[in-house]
């Protein structure tokens, strides 16, 4: 019975891939499998939700967004004490510059690095080298 529930949870999460981004699906499926191993069917459900959130946090932006940010003139860099880490928020006081035609992303120059950020959460999506 537990195997059936685990397989059902994994299949349901994988089937949602048509609408979700790949990182979300991979995170959800991986989280469901890990959760099932640790906590059975309830662990699978919780692991799937947590994994989906983690997978979404690290999905790279489209290449057109990266190209746009690379082509922008250098602005004054904002210096923050925290390390800039993908998936982690940057301080709310950092002013983000919206990316035209891609409202899901903004950018800033933080600690001498161009950083693509989710403007809703302030989470770093990508650091451009």
> Quick one: average pLDDT of 9-30?
46
% pLDDT > 90, the chain: 49
What is the model's pLDDT at position 77? 92
Per the listing, tokens 């510059």 go with 97
pLDDT one-digit tens code per residue, 68-87: 999 999 888 999 998 999 99
The full set of domain ranges for the chain reads 2-57, 63-128
pLDDT band, residue 42 (cuts 50/70/90): confident
Q: How many residues does the chain have?
A: 129
Average pLDDT value over all residues in the chain: 76
Instruction: Quote the CA–CA distance of 94 and 46 in Å, as a whole number.
Output: 33
């Amino acid at each position: 019975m537990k195997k059936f529930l685990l397989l059902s949870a994994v299949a349901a999460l994988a089937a949602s891939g048509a609408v979700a981004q790949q990182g979300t699906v991979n995170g959800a499926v991986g989280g469901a499998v890990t959760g099932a191993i640790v906590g059975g069917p309830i662990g699978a459900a919780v692991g799937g939700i947590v994994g989906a959130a983690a997978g979404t946090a690290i999905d790279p932006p489209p290449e057109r967004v990266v190209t746009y940010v690379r082509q922008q003139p250098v602005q004054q860099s904002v210096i923050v004490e925290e390390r800039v880490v993908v998936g982690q928020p940057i301080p709310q006081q950092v002013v983000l510059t919206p990316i035209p035609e891609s409202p899901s992303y903004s950018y800033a120059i933080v600690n001498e690095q161009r950083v693509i950020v989710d403007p809703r959460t302030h989470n770093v999506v990508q650091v451009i080298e």
